[in-house]
Chains A and B, each alone.
Chain A
Amino acid sequence: MSNPVFERIRRQIESDDVVLYMKGTPVFPQCGFSAGVVQVLSRLGVQFRSYNVLEDMELRQGLKEFANWPTFPQLYVKGELVGGFDIVREMYESGELQQLLREKGIAFSEAA
């Protein structure tokens, strides 16, 4: 864990309950999978912080190693990687994502 970018990542995922590393921004996503995760979070009314990995190559490379996960988006809840779009969508549809948010004490719209 000597990579200095790991320290930055750790601070980011500890500063906000829900963090999304994505390609583009929530308003202008530049990848369908990133857009998909934004859509799930919006539907649930979850507040999240996003970082655009296309604007920060050091962060983009560092995250792949930090997470031992090669692709984006990456969704973190309370400092832990939940998954990319496939996992997030499946968990949303099965109710597991809502259960995780509940367990972690993160506000979301139960009606969604």
Chain B
Amino acid sequence: MTEEGRGMAIAAELERRLQAAFAPVALDIRDDSERHRGHPGHREGGGTHFVVRIVSEAFRGLSRIERERRVMATVADLLEKPVHALQVIARTPEEVR
């Protein structure tokens, strides 16, 4: 697999898992690896850092920290260095209205 292909494959798997776990009404996954050039974990071709914007009823009543924990738990094994590899913006439909 090419390096670009690897990044795209990870993004597709992120999307599949998040769809299955949270049934989001909106989901946007962006490969943010370029912005982390030179940081630990960065590799040529992307697929190391992602920004996830997710809107789901499943977050209702949960604190920010609990939403991020749940998203992380769903996808952590896909990420090589999960600590800084995923930025999560999790909202309920009401909060983005």
Q: Which one, A7-15, A46-54, A65-73, A101-109, is touching chain B?
A: A65-73
Q: Which residues of A contact B83 (CB under 8 A)?
A: 70-71
Q: Which residues of B contact A68 (CB under 8 A)?
A: 69
Count CB-based A-B contacts (< 8 Å): 21
Q: Which residues of A contact B65 (CB under 8 A)?
A: 69, 81-83, 87
A5 at the A/B interface (Cβ < 8 Å)? no
Tell me the smallest distance from the CB of B74 to a CB of chain A, in Å.
Answer: 14
In the bound complex, do residue B64 and residue A87 qualify as a contact, i.e. CB atoms below 8 Å apart? yes
Interface of B is mostly: helix
B87 at the A/B interface (Cβ < 8 Å)? yes
Interface magnitude class on chain B: under 10
In the bound complex, do residue A90 and residue B64 qualify as a contact, i.e. CB atoms below 8 Å apart? yes
B82 at the A/B interface (Cβ < 8 Å)? yes
Q: Which residues of A contact B68 (CB under 8 A)?
A: 83, 87
B84 at the A/B interface (Cβ < 8 Å)? yes
Q: Which residue of A lies closest to B72 (CB)?
A: A70
A58 at the A/B interface (Cβ < 8 Å)? no
Q: Which residues of B contact A87 (CB under 8 A)?
A: 64-65, 68
- Report B60-75 residues with CB < 8 Å from chain A CB: 63-65, 68-69
Residues in chain B within 8 A of chain A (CB atoms): 63-65, 68-69, 82-84, 87
